[in-house]
């Protein structure tokens, strides 16, 4: 499944680093966000420094970009478009057992 996500049309034009950030975002969205409570606009999908989230697909949730400090990141508008396409191509598993198994595979 990890390979299917990385080879999806949605992620194809991205560089290696951005693909890995989206892979982690997919995992976090799958495991930690209730669709009725969170949206792609407000879901915290990554934790890292500004240098690790340089692309325009992500932004800090509070606008703070202090260097060398970890911040929580959310999707920018362009990131939301890519994530929507990725979720359409590779839908999230429906049951908890499948999610847990995929989470273990992606978290390695």
pLDDT value at residue 2: 87
Q: At what angle do helices 16-32 and 96-107 cross, to 10 degrees?
A: 150
The mean pLDDT value for 94-103 works out to 89
106 CB-near residues (< 8 Å, 6+ apart): 1, 2, 5, 23, 24, 26, 27
pLDDT digits (tens, 9 = 90+) for 4-45: 998 999 999 999 999 999 999 999 998 887 767 889 998 989
Structural domain span for residue 48: 2-107
pLDDT value at residue 107: 78
* d(C-alpha 70, C-alpha 90), whole Å: 29
The total number of structural domains in the chain stands at 1
pLDDT digits (tens, 9 = 90+) for 56-95: 999 999 999 999 999 999 999 999 999 999 999 999 898 8
Q: Which pTM was predicted?
A: 0.89
* d(C-alpha 54, C-alpha 33), whole Å: 24
């Amino acid at each position: 499944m990890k390979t299917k996500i990385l080879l999806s049309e949605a992620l194809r034009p991205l560089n290696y680093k951005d693909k890995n950030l989206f892979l982690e975002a997919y995992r976090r969205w799958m495991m930690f966000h209730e669709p009725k409570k969170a949206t792609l606009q407000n879901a915290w999908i990554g934790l890292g420094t500004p240098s690790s989230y340089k692309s325009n697909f992500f932004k800090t949730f509070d606008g703070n970009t202090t260097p060398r400090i970890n911040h929580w990141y959310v999707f920018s508008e362009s990131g939301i478009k890519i994530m929507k396409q990725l979720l359409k191509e590779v839908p999230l598993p429906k049951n908890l057992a499948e999610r847990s198994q995929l989470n273990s595979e992606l978290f390695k």
